[in-house]
Amino acid sequence: MSHLDDIPSTPGKFKMEKSPYVHNRLRWHFSLAKLTFWSFIFLGLIVVFFFRSPSSNPLLQDPSRRSLRTYNWGGPAWEKQVRSSARIRSRNGFSVLVTGAAGFVGTHVSAALKRRGDGVLGLDNFNDYYDPSLKRARQALLERSGVFIVEGDINDSVLLRKLFEVVAFTHVMHLAAQAGVRYAMENPSSYVHSNIAGLVSLLEVCKSANPQPAIVWASSSSVYGLNTKVPFSERDRTDQPASLYAATKKAGEEIAHTFNHIYGLSLTGLRFFTVYGPWGRPDMAYFFFTRDILKGKSIPIFEAANHGTVARDFTYVDDIVKGCLAALDTAEKSTGSGGKKKGPAQLRVYNLGNTSPVPVSDLVSILEKLLKVNAKRNIMKLPRNGDVQFTHANISLAQRELGYKPSTDLQTGLKKFVRWYVSYYSGGKKAAG
């Protein structure tokens, strides 16, 4: 007899026969329906996640996360390259891990360390904040001098731990960062990713290394923010950042203090003031001014309120390199071991500038003479995007403790830059910008 015969033929209260067979079968139908329902929900979520448009994919939409791509590293041949590059070749030399080695300052510092016989290993993620081909050209330059650059991200703690397993670094020169004041308004998360999370990631590995390395790292003159007292001194207030970039660098100084206090890491922060020179960054004014003057394009010249002058303490890269090396040479050893502090450790901050601010309009005049082309100047109000009216470094502390003495004036430095620029971009390289 069919189970349909159990249903009453006349209207009234429905009463099901309480047989185990009927009860189990209905429960099975109910479970199957529920399973089917949730399966469709789950499949729908998969479709939405994997097949939505690229513009809605956070990994593609957020440039700060592009560096999380997979890098190829490891293996006997790779470890051999790492060891060879980091091998010390001079008496009392250092073994230095340079982060951001394919960057502007990183390239110059790495080359200088290698020339004097230190072991140097580079680390860079080659992101596309600006033309990666320039970074690759710097990489080729360093490789010719024996510096190997590992392609990877400072947020990759597995890679960092591996590097410290292969090489017992005596020092770290941490120059990797998301640079640029204005770009922070377009992609703020990239600054947190690189300048805060990246710094913490590196310091976490350094604190657990045995022995712990001494660390010198790049802060920025931007930390002085809205400070109106000039010249800027290390003792001045730095609690009024004018940009997110500045805020992340200020946060970095506080993070450095924390790791020094808790774990005994020796840390030296260097506040760079508007670094310029050959192999520079295309997003810097002197660089794109040169490009646009040669192309006949107008260039923006900012002025402050009431036609106020905008000036920068332009510092030539070779002077910055001397300051970086002096900071390494005077850095004391970290006092911790295996993540535990055993005594007070060195904690320092220095201004590295030229202590001679130059109006941006004067910079343009110098470029006009060197390029033999008149610039098309477009005078504009200083935008409220993080730029400040002036920077001026008090370098007395660095002079006294590091022996830092900048010696390159803007005219001389720009002459060297223009010579490099013309040679690089007319020698078969693709046009800048």
Residue with the two structure tokens 């479709």: 47
- The pLDDT tens digits of the residues spanning 118-133 come to 999 999 999 999 999 9
Q: Using an 8 Å Cβ cutoff, are 380 and 330 in contact?
A: no
Is 11 within the bounds of a domain? no
Which of the four pLDDT bands, split at 50, 70 and 90, describes residue 383? low
| Average pLDDT score over the chain | 85
Of the two residues 300 and 19, the one the predictor is more confident about is 300
**pLDDT score of 283:** 95
Residue 189, domain CATH: 3.40.50.720
Domain count, the chain: 1
The catalytic residue among 191, 245, 350, 404 is 245
> Residue 154 above 60 pLDDT?
yes
141, pLDDT greater than 80: yes
Q: What is the pLDDT of residue 17?
A: 40
Spatial separation of the C-alpha atoms in residues 418 and 416, rounded to whole Å: 6
207 in a structural domain: yes
What is the arithmetic mean of pLDDT over 257-267?
Answer: 98
> Quick count: other Cβ atoms within 10 Å of Cβ 73?
16
* Mean pLDDT value across residues 285-294: 96
User: Is 404 considered catalytic here?
Assistant: no
> Is residue 193 in a domain?
yes
Q: Which amino acid is at 67?
A: S
Quote the CA–CA distance of 377 and 302 in Å, as a whole number: 10
Q: Is the pLDDT of residue 155 over 50?
A: yes
Which stretch of 115-119, 191-195, 212-216, 240-244 has the lowest confidence by average pLDDT?
Answer: 240-244
Does residue 87 surpass a pLDDT of 70?
yes
Q: Which domain holds residue 261?
A: 69-273+317-353+392-407
- 26 has pLDDT over 50: no
- Binning pLDDT at 50, 70 and 90, where does residue 366 land? very high
Tell me which residue of 343, 364, 352, 341 sits closest to 317, measured CA to CA: 352
55 pLDDT higher than 50: no
Q: How confident is the model at residue 70 (pLDDT cuts 50, 70, 90)?
A: low
Least confident of 19-23, 93-97, 259-263, 328-332: 19-23
Mean pLDDT of 5-10: 35
Short-list 95, 338, 101, CA closest to 206: 338
Residue 173: inside a domain: yes
Does pTM surpass 0.75? yes
The pLDDT of residue 144 is 97
369: pLDDT confidence band, cut at 50, 70 and 90?
A: very high
**Closest to 339 (Cα-Cα) out of 211, 212, 207:** 207
Q: Model confidence over 302-311: pLDDT tens digits? A: 877 666 778 8
Amino acid sitting at position 78: W
pLDDT of residue 256: 98
**So what's the pLDDT on residue 69?**
56
Bridge partners (DSSP) listed for residue 393: 232
User: Quick check: is 124 in a domain?
Assistant: yes
